[in-house]
Amino acid sequence: MSLTNSPIVETQGLILRGPKKVDVEPTIAFLQNEERSIFFGALLNRGDAWRWFALNVGHWHLHGFGYFTIVTKENEIAGLCGIWFPEGWPEPELGWVVFENFEGKGIAYEAAQAVRSWAYSKLEFTTITSNIVPENKRSITLAKRLNATFEKEYHNDNMGLCYMYRHPSPEDIKN
C-alpha cells in the first residue's frame, strides 16, 4: 500500500509509484552509502536517512508531488525520480537517482522523461529545472540528454553551489 496519494506512472520498462514501507530499507541503504549518494545529500546516520524517507512521504501530502519509487517491470526497486520543492528551493525541480547495480541501463532517463511529462500534463507545470552540483557529471550529462540547458549557478542552502538546468517547455517538447 502506498503511503501517499501519488499516481502510478508506467513506461515501457518501469513503474513509477509512491513510496511504500518496502522502500524504506533500499532508500536508507542508498542514503547511507556516501559514495553513491554524495550528490543527492548523503545521510550517514540511519535516523537521518529514515527521516528523509518520511520527509518524502510528507512532501507528497503537502505538495501533491514528490519522489516516485522507480520499480522495474521485474519488480526491482531501482531508484527515485520525481519533483522536489522543499522550503528554500528556488522552484520545483526534476530530480533522479538510481540505486546500486541499476546505472547505465537508461533507467534514470526513462523515469525522468515520464516524470517531466506527468508534471506538465497532470500538474500543469509550464517549466521545470534540475539543480545539479557541478561535480555530478553523470547528472549533467543526463540533463543535457533531456534537452535541459544550463541557466545559472546559484547557492543551494543544502547542497552548496548548484547549476540550474532549465528543461524545455511542454510546447517545445511537442515540436
pLDDT tens profile 16-72: 999 999 999 999 998 898 888 787 887 778 898 899 889 999 999 999 999 999 999
Specify the pLDDT at position 52.
Answer: 87
pLDDT value of position 175: 59
**Confidence category of residue 121, pLDDT binned at 50, 70, 90:** very high
3 state DSSP class of 11: coil
Question: Measured between alpha carbons, how far is 15 from 39 in angstroms, rounded to an integer?
Answer: 24
* Mean of pLDDT over the chain: 93
The strand order across the sheet containing 160-166 reads: 9-10, 14-17, 67-72, 77-84, 93-98, 129-132, 160-166, 149-156
**This prediction's pTM:** 0.94
* Domain range 9-127, its CATH number among 3.90.1150.10, 3.30.70.2860, 3.40.630.30, 3.30.470.30: 3.40.630.30
What average pLDDT does this structure show over 154-171?
Answer: 92
Predicted confidence at residue 89, as pLDDT, reads: 87
Domain positions in the chain are 9-127
pLDDT digits 0-9 by tens, 133-159: 999 999 999 999 999 999 999 998 888
Kindly report, residue by residue over 77-120, the tens digit of the pLDDT: 999 999 999 988 899 999 999 999 999 999 999 999 999 999 99
168-173: long-range contacts, CB 8 A cutoff, minimum separation 24: 169/126, 169/127, 170/120, 170/121, 170/125, 170/126, 172/147, 173/116, 173/117, 173/120, 173/147
Is 97 in contact with 40 (CB distance < 8 Å)? yes
